[in-house]
């Protein structure tokens, strides 16, 4: 074969390779490429509000209309005013929110775990009815009973002032009153995935229910405990309705109530400080989520497989 034949063969091979590449890209896009496009659109859609609120927090103007251009001005004066202004006890609000959220999350996880263990491992009369009741009760949120809760807290405060109206302990008790429900049912499904042979072996060795629960079951179901704790922590940090009714003392209020007061006035709205406070309030949730994210997928899905 001459040099011309080799050149023509090489050109044909090159054209065929380019055609195969174009076809392979089209096949790739049809198969999986469109999913990447949708994923990036979803990422941009989710990140834009976060970038916007961060931009507002760094804008000293304090208005939303002046922050249409992202990061046009970068200034930390709003963050400084949060902690230096005598009219804005943000540090106290922040600590109050963390205390209430952490205590509520810990006891919610404990109560739900105890209830789920009882429903999963014990057989007693009314067991199925109890599970169904927990689910039905979740159809009626605590907000529907806010008037009754308010009147009840006033009466409790007359007898036990430490857990009455305007106290953190009283608010935590209210939150714990609605802790059982979907969380218990979710844990119940997870507990069912643990083989009962483990319990039986421990009981043969002389272990009681308390020892089995605390030393064997809890380490095995750690993913669902982390998930329930995370969901509860997020919900309590941002809860406003019940906390605004119970916490009447400004020094006892949480971040959600305090930030709402910054923008509730018609002539005293400062969205820059509000945005700065919201960014800082999201930091504990973000840290908790990043630390526990390896447990989240397993905690949410393992209970559904039986």
Distance CA 47, CA 45 (A): 6
Q: How far is CA 127 from CA 110, 117, 132, 157, in A?
A: 20, 12, 9, 35
- pLDDT for 113-137, tens place per residue? 998 888 888 888 888 888 888 878 7
Distance CA 169, CA 252 (A): 11
What integer is the mean pLDDT of 169-198?
86
- pLDDT greater than 90 at residue 207: no
| Residue 12 pLDDT class (50, 70, 90 cuts) | low
Report the mean per-residue pLDDT for the chain.
Answer: 81
pLDDT of residue 9: 47
CB of 199 within 8 A of CB of 284? Answer: no
pLDDT of residue 298: 57
Cβ neighbours of residue 196 under 8 Å, at least 6 residues apart? 121
- pLDDT greater than 50 at residue 306: no
Give, in degrees to the nearest 5, the angle at Cα 135 between 211 and 192. 35
Distance CA 200, CA 179 (A): 30
CB of 85 within 8 A of CB of 268? Answer: no
Distance CA 252, CA 257 (A): 10
- pLDDT for 37-47, tens place per residue? 898 899 888 88
| Residue 221 pLDDT class (50, 70, 90 cuts) | confident
pLDDT of residue 3: 46
**DSSP label of 221:** T
What integer is the mean pLDDT of 271-297?
84
With a pLDDT cut of 70, the percent of the chain lying above it is 84
């Amino acid at each position: 074969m001459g040099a011309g034949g080799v050149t023509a063969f090489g050109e044909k091979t090159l054209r065929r390779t380019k055609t195969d590449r174009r076809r392979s890209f089209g096949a790739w896009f049809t198969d999986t490429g469109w999913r990447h496009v949708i994923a990036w659109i979803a990422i941009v859609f989710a990140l834009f509000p976060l970038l916007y609120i961060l931009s507002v927090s760094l804008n000293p103007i304090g208005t939303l209309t002046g922050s249409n251009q992202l990061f046009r001005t970068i200034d930390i004066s709003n963050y400084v005013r949060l902690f230096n202004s005598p009219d804005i006890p943000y540090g106290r609000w922040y600590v109050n929110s963390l205390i209430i959220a952490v205590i509520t999350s810990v006891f919610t996880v404990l109560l739900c775990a105890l209830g789920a263990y009882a429903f999963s491992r014990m057989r007693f009369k009314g067991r199925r009815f109890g599970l169904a009741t927990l689910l039905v009760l979740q159809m009626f949120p605590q907000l529907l009973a806010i008037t009754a809760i308010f009147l009840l807290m006033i009466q409790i405060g007359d007898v036990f002032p430490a857990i009455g109206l305007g106290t953190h302990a009283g608010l935590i008790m209210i939150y714990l009153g609605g802790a059982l429900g979907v969380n218990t049912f979710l844990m119940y499904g997870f507990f069912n995935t643990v083989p009962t042979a483990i319990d039986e072996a421990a009981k043969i060795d002389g272990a009681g229910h308390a020892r089995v629960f605390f030393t064997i079951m809890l380490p095995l179901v750690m993913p669902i405990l982390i998930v329930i704790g995370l969901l509860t922590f997020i919900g309590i940090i941002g809860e406003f309705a019940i906390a605004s009714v119970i916490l009447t003392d400004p020094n006892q209020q949480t971040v959600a109530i305090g930030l709402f007061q910054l923008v509730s006035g018609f002539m005293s709205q400062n969205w820059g400080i509000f945005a700065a406070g919201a960014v800082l309030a999201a930091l504990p949730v973000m840290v908790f989520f990043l630390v526990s994210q390896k447990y989240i997928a397993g905690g949410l899905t393992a209970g559904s497989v039986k």
